[in-house]
Chain A
Amino acid sequence: MKINIKHVAKLANLTLTKEEEKRFEKQLEVTLDTINKLNEVNTDNTEITSQVTGLENVMDDDIPQPSLSQKKALANAKNTYNGLFVVKAILEE
C-alpha cells in the first residue's frame, strides 16, 4: 500500500524533512502490512464498538464554575500581549 506522505503530513500539520519523508514512508508501510492482517477477520454483520463502558447520557448541569485567572491561563504561553495569546499572523485566504 502506498501512502502519500506529503499529503498526510500536511493534514497532520507536520513539517517533515526529505529524509524523514523517506524513512517514515518505509516504516509506515511495514506497520500497514501488519495491520492489514485484520482483513483476515470476517466482520460482516458486526457492529462497531467505539466505547467499552456502556455508559450513556453523561452530562452536566448548566451551572457555571470559576474559571482560571487570566494570569494562570497565559502562564505557559511563550508570547502574550495585553492578555492575549500571540501567534504568527493568520492570513485570511
Chain B
Amino acid sequence: MKNYTPIIGLEVHVELKTASKMFCRCSANYFGREPNTHTCPVCLGFPGALPVANAKAIEWCIMIALSLNCEINLLSKFDRKNYFYPDLPKGYQISQYDLPFGKNGSMELKNGKKIRIRRVHMEEDTAKLTHIGHPKLVSGSNVDKKMLNQVQHDNVSLIDFNRSGVPLVEIVTEPDFESASEVKEYLQKLQQIVRYLDVSNADMEKGDMRLEPNISLRPVSLRGVSPKETDEAISKRSPRSARDDSALPPYKVEVKNINSFRFVEKAIDFEIKRQANDYRYFPEPDIPPIHFTKDQISSLESQVPELPDARFSRFLREFSLTEYDSKILTREKNVANYFEEAVSIGKEHNISPKQIANWIINKKPNVNDVLPASLVKQIVSSTQVTSIDEADLEKVILQVLSENQKAVDDFKNGKENVIMFLVGQVMRQFKTKINANSVKELILKSIGD
C-alpha cells in the first residue's frame, strides 16, 4: 500500500420524503410499516408493469443540484443500470447515466477548500434485505421459534419491498477529500442543505442518507496527474479494471452500510477490492426524456431557500453574532427561522439579537412548543425587576426564615449553598419576577442580624 496514496470520493444517497415512490404511486412512507404492505406490480417488478416518474422528486433533485452549485442538464433522461441482486426486483435499477439532472457543482468547506461535485442524479431505492439470525429480527418480531430455527437452518435472507422504488438522489463528488474531517464536514453540510430544502429527513440512522466512499489508489509517482474521471469511467470503471489488468488505478470500492458519521473514519481504512460489475447501461425505453426550459429551472431556483452558509454569514453581519452562535442557530432551518422571528419581536421590547441567541442556545426552548413571542416575553421578564415594597419583602423573608429554621442553622454551620433554597422559597411568594440577588442580600442581612 505504501506505493499508493488513497483518493477519496464520496457517493451519497439521499432518500427524498415525497408522498409517493419514484416510479409508482405507492406510499413512500414505509419506515416501520408492516413488510410488503407498500408495494404494487411496478415496485415488485411484476411482468408488464411500467414506471411513471414522480414529478416532485425530479424537481427536488434539481433543487438539490442547484443548491450544490451544479449546472442543470436541460435535456435529461433515465437509463437502466443492469445488475442482479435479490433486493432489485426488475434486475435493473432505473437511474441516470450520461445525462444526470445536475453536474459540475461544488461545496466549499470552512478551510476554503472546494469539494467538486461531479453529478447529482435521480434513481430508485432497492428493497430491504434482512439476513436471518440478525439479533434485531429475533427480538423484534413475533417469530415462531421453531420456524425460526428452520429458516435459520436453511440459511436464507428475507426481503421487504416497501422501500423498493423510493426516490433516491445520488450525489457524487470528485475524489477531492484528503482527510476524514473533510468528509465529515461535507456530510454534515449536505445533510443541512437537504433539510433546509425540506426534501429529505436525511436521518442517517434511519437510512435516509447513506454513504458510499469510493477509495481509489493513486501511485505516488503519478501524483499531480488529475484523477478526474469522465462520467463514462464511473459506470464502466469496474469492468475496465477487471479486464485491463495492466492499468491499476482507478480501483474503486463502494463500502456499503455506512450509516453514521462515526463510521466515516473507519471507511478510509477499508480493504480495497475489485468488483466484477458491468452495469450495461442503456436508455430506459419506458420513460420519455425530460426536457426543461431555462424558465422552469429559474422558477425552481427561486424556490431554493437561503441555505445554511448564506444564512450563517448574514447572521454574523446582520445580528453581530459570534461565529459560534451563528453556527448553532443556522444548523437547523426551523431554529434559524425561530431566532429571526424572535429577533423581530424582540426589537419592539428592546431585546437584542444577542440576548435572544443566548437564551435559545442556553435554555434550548422547544421551538415547536414555545412561540417566539412567549420566548421574548420570558426574556423581558427575566431582565425586568419588579419593584416591590421593601417592607413587604422583609416581612416575607422573616416568615420564610422562621419556617425554615433548619436551613438557617445549616447555613450558619457552613452549608452555604442552602442560601439558594431560601431565595427560592422567598421568590415563590411573589407572582412577579423579582431580582434574586437583592433577595439574597436581604436574606444574608436578616440571618446576620
Closest to A48 in B: B283
Contact status A65-B20, CB under 8 Å: yes
Contacting residue for B289 out of A56, A81, A82, A88, CB 8 A? A56
User: Measured between alpha carbons, how far is A63 from B29 in the docked complex, in Å?
Assistant: 12
User: Measured between alpha carbons, how far is A65 from B285 in the docked complex, in Å?
Assistant: 24
Closest to A10 in B: B276
Contact status B36-A70, CB under 8 Å: yes
User: Measured between alpha carbons, how far is A13 from B92 in the docked complex, in Å?
Assistant: 12
Known contacts A83-B35, A85-B161, A86-B151: does B56 contact A61 (CB below 8 Å)? yes
B40 adjacent to chain A (CB < 8 Å) = yes
Closest to B242 in A: A7
- Residues of A within 8 Å of B52, CB to CB, are 58-60
Known contacts A51-B289, A57-B290: does B25 contact A65 (CB below 8 Å)? yes
Contacting residue for A90 out of B29, B44, B131, B282, CB 8 A? B131
- Residues of A within 8 Å of B91, CB to CB, are 13
- The 0/1 profile, CB within 8 Å of B marked 1, for residues 58-93 of chain A is 111111110111100110000101111111111010
- The 0/1 profile, CB within 8 Å of B marked 1, for residues 4-46 of chain A is 0000001101000000000000000000000000000000000
Chain A min CB distance to B299 (Å)? 15
Contact status A64-B25, CB under 8 Å: yes
A1 adjacent to chain B (CB < 8 Å) = no
- Residues of B within 8 Å of A79, CB to CB, are 156
Contact status A56-B26, CB under 8 Å: no
Contact status A51-B20, CB under 8 Å: no
B412 adjacent to chain A (CB < 8 Å) = no
Contact status A92-B151, CB under 8 Å: no
Contact status B288-A67, CB under 8 Å: no
| Secondary structure of the B contact surface, majority rule | loop
Contact status B27-A64, CB under 8 Å: yes
User: Measured between alpha carbons, how far is A70 from B26 in the docked complex, in Å?
Assistant: 13
- The 0/1 profile, CB within 8 Å of A marked 1, for residues 27-59 of chain B is 111000011111111001000000011111110
- Residues of A within 8 Å of B156, CB to CB, are 79, 81, 86-89
User: Measured between alpha carbons, how far is A84 from B44 in the docked complex, in Å?
Assistant: 12
- Residues of B within 8 Å of A61, CB to CB, are 55-56
B69 adjacent to chain A (CB < 8 Å) = no
B280 adjacent to chain A (CB < 8 Å) = yes
User: Measured between alpha carbons, how far is A57 from B91 in the docked complex, in Å?
Assistant: 25
> B220-279: which have CB < 8 Å to A?
276, 278
User: Measured between alpha carbons, how far is A86 from B26 in the docked complex, in Å?
Assistant: 22
Closest to B162 in A: A67
Contact status B25-A59, CB under 8 Å: no
Chain A min CB distance to B227 (Å)? 25
- The 0/1 profile, CB within 8 Å of A marked 1, for residues 138-178 of chain B is 00011100010001000111111100000000000000000
Closest to A12 in B: B84
Contact status A67-B39, CB under 8 Å: yes
Contact status B34-A89, CB under 8 Å: no
User: Measured between alpha carbons, how far is A86 from B25 in the docked complex, in Å?
Assistant: 25
Closest to A89 in B: B155
- Residues of B within 8 Å of A53, CB to CB, are 288
Contact status B291-A63, CB under 8 Å: no
Closest to A92 in B: B131
User: Measured between alpha carbons, how far is A62 from B14 in the docked complex, in Å?
Assistant: 18
User: Measured between alpha carbons, how far is A70 from B278 in the docked complex, in Å?
Assistant: 34
User: Measured between alpha carbons, how far is A59 from B20 in the docked complex, in Å?
Assistant: 13
Query: Could you tell me which A residues sit within 8 Å of B by CB distance?
Result: 10-11, 13, 50-51, 53, 55-65, 67-70, 73-74, 79, 81-90, 92
Known: A51-B289, A67-B37, A85-B36. 9 other contacts (CB 8 A): A53-B288, A59-B53, A62-B19, A62-B57, A64-B26, A69-B37, A70-B35, A84-B160, A87-B159
Query: Could you tell me which B residues sit within 8 Å of A by CB distance?
Result: 18-20, 25-29, 34-41, 44, 52-58, 84-86, 91, 129-132, 141-143, 147, 151, 155-161, 276, 278, 280, 282-283, 285, 287-291
5 residue pairs, one from A and one from B, having the closest CB atoms: A62-B56, A59-B55, A84-B158, A55-B288, A65-B25
Cross-chain pairs A/B with CB under 8 angstroms, 15 sampled:
A50-B285, A57-B290, A58-B53, A60-B25, A61-B56, A64-B28, A69-B37, A70-B34, A73-B36, A73-B39, A81-B158, A82-B142, A82-B158, A83-B36, A85-B158
